[in-house]
Amino acid sequence: MTTRPIAVVGASAAGLAAAEALRRGGWRGPLTLIGEEPHLPYDRPPLSKQLLHGAWEPDRLRLRTEDQLAPLDLDLRLGTRATGLDVATRTLTLDGGERLGCAGVIIATGVAARTLPGADRIAGVHTLRTLDEALALRGRLANGGTPEGGRRRLVIVGNGVLGCEAAAVARELGHEVTLVGIDETPMAAAVGTEVGALLAEEHRARGVRLRTGAVDGFETAPADPAGTGDPQVTAVRLAHGGAAAGGEGGSRLPADLVLLAIGSRPAVEWLADPALDTTDGLRCDAYCAAAPGIYAAGDVARWDHPVHGRPLRFEHRMNATEQGMAAARNLLAELAATAPAPRAGDDAPTQERRPFAPVPYFWSDQYDLKLQAYGLTAGADRVEATVLDRARRRLLALYGRDGRAVGVLAAGLPPRQLRALRAVIATPLPWEEARERIGAATAAG
């Protein structure tokens, strides 16, 4: 009988990491990698930075070339969507109607950009999640959004990480930028209001206009200069007049281009099997398993973090790779425990499933400022931020929850001190103990 394949759904960083880990772990059977986009797996963080700026070209984002993928012997299905999964039989349905029975499935479909009603029918309104979307926005910024080019007015809706990074790039390219958010301070949901206020100072100093308010709609001109037939955006309207950080009034923000950076939603709409919990991502146990033989990794996975004691979902690049490898190892261990051969190679080491317990890490580059954070910074009930050196843009913030320190963020610190901060926050500590250790770790230099 032919061995059924393991299928990895999502040709992403998490999906590629899972596929490579499956081969390293001894899987010799068929291995299918399914990706909705037509591109080979690529790195997403540079989309809003180096690629948008024009410093990098798409080839530099590739995680592997075709030659590097060849040894994996993949059944590579690019430009293909999974449209359904029967959990009991581990059978995938693909958009062409094909049904693929699998020995195991790893879901790494990531997230999709949120948008606003009607935005997809207005020229000049963009989202920024995929390579094609980033290239489309880069093209409009490079020529100013019109054939004659020039300095353009960009309104970015959403002042989270993506919106702030894109604002920095657009200002460096010489465009007028207005950053609009529901929160008064940039990135407040991710890093707290204290650090957000420091970021606001940096953006204002670079010429970004900050506004607070919800978007009520768009104003358009009759025709798109690019000739698509869609109306061209001319302004963004704010509900209730909005509020300006600098005291400006008015609810109309003139715009040649608009970037919607209003968050994302886990790509789970195709998972309709009632055996799966798709509330805020695909719910998994501590081993990244959503059901027997069904695992998840990356932005789409919401799993029980054994250290923090609650389900978490991270949209961070490092987590995607680490969780892809963990899901692959645990799937192989499960398959070996139920039917050792021929699903795992004879040379595969004996292994047991292990809980996935990473120290979360993320970074954000804005202008010459690099923020790096370990642990949990979102949802903290206590934040203590300290500017160590304003001129050198050195800062440190400690984040607490329920009396324990759970996260730390820094900018401008040397690698040695950053490693020390990670060690302190790897396991939640009582607030004062962590505070003392953080102080000792950053005392020198």
Task: Point out the residues of the chain with pLDDT beneath 50.
Answer: 1, 145, 147, 244-248, 341-344, 348
- What are 346-369's pLDDT values in tens digits? 554 557 999 999 999 999 999 989
* Residue 2, pLDDT score: 60
Question: Residue 419: what pLDDT?
Answer: 87
Beta strands in 79-163 (DSSP E): 82-86, 91-94, 99-101, 104-107, 111-113, 125-127, 153-157
Q: For the chain, how big is the Rg over CA atoms in Å? A: 23
Give the pLDDT of residue 295.
98
pLDDT of 100 reads: 98
pTM of the model: 0.92
3-class SS at 202?
helix
C-beta separation of 19 from 335 below 8 A: no
Tokens for 398, please give them: 């400690």
Q: What is the DSSP string of 113-129?
A: E---TTGGGSBTEEE-S
Provide the pairing of β-strand 382-389 with 252-254: unpaired
CA angle, residues 270, 276, 279, in degrees to nearest 5: 80
Contact at 8 Å (CB) between 76 and 160? no
Distance between CA 108 and CA 397 in Å, rounded?
32
Short-list 133, 170, 368, 152, CA closest to 264 = 133
C-alpha distance from residue 15 to each of 7, 30, 84, 107, 301 (Å): 10, 15, 18, 8, 12
Which DSSP state fits 2?
P
pLDDT in the model for residue 442: 82
d(CA 287, CA 294) in angstroms, rounded, equals 11
Residue in 263, 255, 174 with CA at minimum distance from that of residue 211: 255
Q: So what's the pLDDT on residue 246? A: 41
Write the single-letter amino acid at 413: L
- Contacts for 273-276 with beta carbons within 8 Å, 24 or more apart? 273/84, 273/85, 273/86, 273/87, 275/87, 275/88, 276/85, 276/87
- 136: three-class secondary structure by DSSP: helix
pLDDT tens-place string over residues 38-82: 999 999 999 999 999 999 999 999 999 999 999 999 999 999 999
Q: Report yes or no: 262 and 166 within 8 Å, Cβ to Cβ.
A: no
* DSSP 3-state of 238: strand
User: Which structural domains are found in the chain, ordered by start?
Assistant: 6-112+264-343 (3.50.50.60), 119-260 (3.50.50.60), 368-442 (3.30.390.30)
The one-letter amino acid at 178: T
**Rounded-to-integer distance, Cα 329 and Cα 338, Å:** 15
Phi and psi angles of residue 235, each rounded to the nearest 5 degrees, phi first: -165, 160
pLDDT confidence of residue 342: 47
CA distance 250 to 237: 9
Residue 294 token pair? 């069904």
**Torsion sign (Cα): 115, 119, 123, 125:** negative
CB 80 within 8 A of CB 284: no
- Give dist(CA 340, CA 344) in Å, integer: 6
Are 92 and 7 a contacting pair, CB within 8 Å?
Answer: yes
**105 contact partners, CB below 8 Å, separation of at least 6:** 6, 7, 8, 9, 85, 90, 92, 293, 294, 295
- Pairwise CA distance, residues 413 & 396, whole Å: 9
